[in-house]
């Protein structure tokens, strides 16, 4: 197949959907598909994708309005020159630009890979969206229910394919990684590290973890909360941490291209999201054998089993969050057992090959 991934994500952002594109694109080219990835010039998205495999063709596109005729014409030319069979899109802007180009060209099929519910109940969405897409892939049954709520996207159009991650082997516990991680960030050798992976935006819920931190620190003064990511809420979070006089209990790593050491050397994961269709970060932490404290939102319950690989709590409740973290830390052996249970579930259900086979089976209906 000849496949185009079109994503108009802002220049400085690389999120979960973009990570998904990278995994799928790199595996598709290894399986013999021709893959082009298009995005904004000089974007973090294209930079990272270009490093994955030199067989992936990178195509920068200047993107402005949702109906820019110059952009649509350029995409249509790309579709024709490369005989694109399938176009993956992300945002509403992508649906309109690439969707109109595909309809103009007449031979490409458009698949909306939904990462977050961006449907709206208005005439533009109701009229255009179902006319510009041929199929939908969503990472969770929860998100499928959300995007079909208004009725203009029918359930039969939507295929649920849970996210998957690359296969990597992590020992648990890993004494070497434990020591190296604490040395890297100048932490006490005896510190316990709770890692949180995600952009600093409101729906990721970092604020609730920060409010829960005093109670956790009181019970476990060796705890260090490691935040991996970046975003516009970073400064407000740091200011609140300073107000609580907890600076020594927080580490901000920034955005990392590679976080294997951070996961291998940590002790648990805290994932306090308010909205989470299906988290790649949770899967990566399960792969690393880390037990998880997470909120009951979106597709999280489709990945984690409460009491077996995780403790699940209600979103936006700092007291519940603190209690769950303390409960986990109070039982070091149980902490290890839960991490290994999550790792086993990841290996059986959430590898990239399992995901990729399901995606290919779905795409075959549009090509064969």
* pLDDT score, position 257: 84
* 229-238 pLDDT per residue, tens: 999 999 999 9
> What is the value of pTM for the model shown?
0.85
Question: With 80 as the cut, is the pLDDT of residue 368 above it?
Answer: no
121 backbone dihedrals φ, ψ, rounded to 5°:
-95, 70
* 146-180 pLDDT per residue, tens: 999 999 999 999 999 999 998 999 998 899 999 99
Q: Are 308 and 338 in contact (CB under 8 A)?
A: yes
Tell me: do 149 and 21 sit in the same domain: yes
Tell me: do 276 and 250 sit in the same domain: yes
Other CB atoms within a 10 A radius of the CB of residue 174 amount to 18
Would 170 be classed as within a structural domain? no
* pLDDT score, position 185: 98
Would 169 be classed as within a structural domain? no
Rounded Cα–Cα distance for residues 271 and 1 (Å): 37
* 323-344 pLDDT per residue, tens: 999 999 999 999 999 999 999 9
* pLDDT score, position 79: 97
Tell me: do 28 and 157 sit in the same domain: yes
* 265-320 pLDDT per residue, tens: 999 999 999 988 888 899 999 999 999 999 999 899 999 999 999 999 999 999 99
Helical segments of the chain, H only: 16-30, 44-50, 69-81, 92-105, 123-132, 141-147, 175-184, 206-219, 234-243, 260-264, 280-287, 300-303, 318-329, 332-349, 352-367
What's the number of domains the chain is made of?
2
Tell me: do 197 and 278 sit in the same domain: yes
Tell me: do 344 and 362 sit in the same domain: no
Q: Are 149 and 158 in contact (CB under 8 A)?
A: no
Residue position matching structure tokens 């069979």: 85
Say which CATH number the domain at 340 has. 3.40.50.2000
* 14-67 pLDDT per residue, tens: 887 898 999 999 999 999 999 999 999 999 999 999 999 999 999 999 998 899
Tell me: do 137 and 183 sit in the same domain: no
Tell me: do 260 and 239 sit in the same domain: yes
Tell me: do 259 and 336 sit in the same domain: yes
Tell me: do 303 and 280 sit in the same domain: yes
Tell me: do 142 and 192 sit in the same domain: no
The residue among 68, 46, 21 whose CA lies nearest residue 356 is 21
Tell me: do 296 and 279 sit in the same domain: yes
Would 87 be classed as within a structural domain? yes
What domain range includes position 97? Answer: 2-164+352-367
Other CB atoms within a 10 A radius of the CB of residue 153 amount to 22
**Which strands sit side by side in the sheet containing 250-254, from one edge to the other?**
250-254, 223-228, 192-197, 268-271, 292-295, 310-313
Would 323 be classed as within a structural domain? yes
Rounded Cα–Cα distance for residues 245 and 242 (Å): 5
User: Under 8 Å CB-to-CB from 328, ≥6 apart: which residues?
Assistant: 268, 291, 293, 311, 334, 335, 338
Would 358 be classed as within a structural domain? yes
């Amino acid at each position: 197949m000849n496949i185009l991934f079109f994503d108009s994500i802002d220049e400085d952002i690389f999120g979960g959907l973009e990570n998904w594109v990278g995994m799928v694109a790199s595996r598709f080219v290894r399986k013999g598909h021709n893959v082009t990835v298009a995005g904004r010039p000089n974007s973090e998205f294209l930079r990272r994708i270009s490093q994955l495999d030199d067989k992936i063709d990178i195509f920068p596109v200047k993107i402005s309005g949702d109906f820019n005729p110059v952009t649509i014409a350029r995409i249509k030319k790309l579709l024709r020159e490369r005989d694109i069979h399938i176009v993956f899109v992300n945002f509403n802007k992508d649906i309109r630009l690439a969707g109109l180009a595909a309809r103009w060209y007449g031979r490409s099929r458009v698949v909306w890979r939904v990462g977050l519910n961006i449907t709206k109940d208005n005439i533009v969405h109701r009229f255009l969206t179902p006319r510009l897409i041929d199929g939908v892939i969503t990472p969770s049954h929860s998100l499928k229910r959300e995007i079909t709520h208004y009725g203009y996207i029918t359930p039969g159009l939507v295929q649920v394919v849970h996210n998957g991650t690359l296969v990597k082997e992590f020992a648990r516990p890993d004494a070497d990684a434990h020591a190296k991680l604490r040395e890297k960030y100048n932490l006490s050798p005896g510190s316990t590290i709770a890692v949180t992976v995600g952009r600093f935006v409101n729906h990721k819920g970092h604020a609730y973890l920060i409010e829960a931190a005093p109670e956790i620190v009181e019970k476990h003064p060796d705890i260090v909360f490691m935040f991996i990511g970046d975003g516009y809420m970073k400064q407000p979070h740091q200011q609140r941490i300073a107000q609580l006089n907890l600076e020594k209990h927080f580490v901000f790593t920034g955005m990392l291209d590679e976080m294997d050491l951070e996961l291998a050397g940590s002790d648990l994961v805290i994932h306090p999201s308010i909205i989470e269709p299906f988290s790649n970060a949770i899967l990566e932490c399960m792969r690393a054998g880390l037990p998880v404290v997470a909120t009951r939102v979106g597709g999280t319950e489709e990945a984690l089993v409460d009491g077996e690989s995780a403790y699940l709590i209600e979103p936006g409740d700092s007291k519940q969050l603190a209690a769950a973290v303390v409960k986990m830390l109070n039982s070091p052996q149980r902490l290890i057992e839960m991490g290994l249970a999550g790792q086993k579930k990841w290996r059986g259900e959430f590898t990239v090959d399992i995901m990729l086979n399901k995606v290919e089976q779905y795409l075959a209906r549009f090509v064969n």
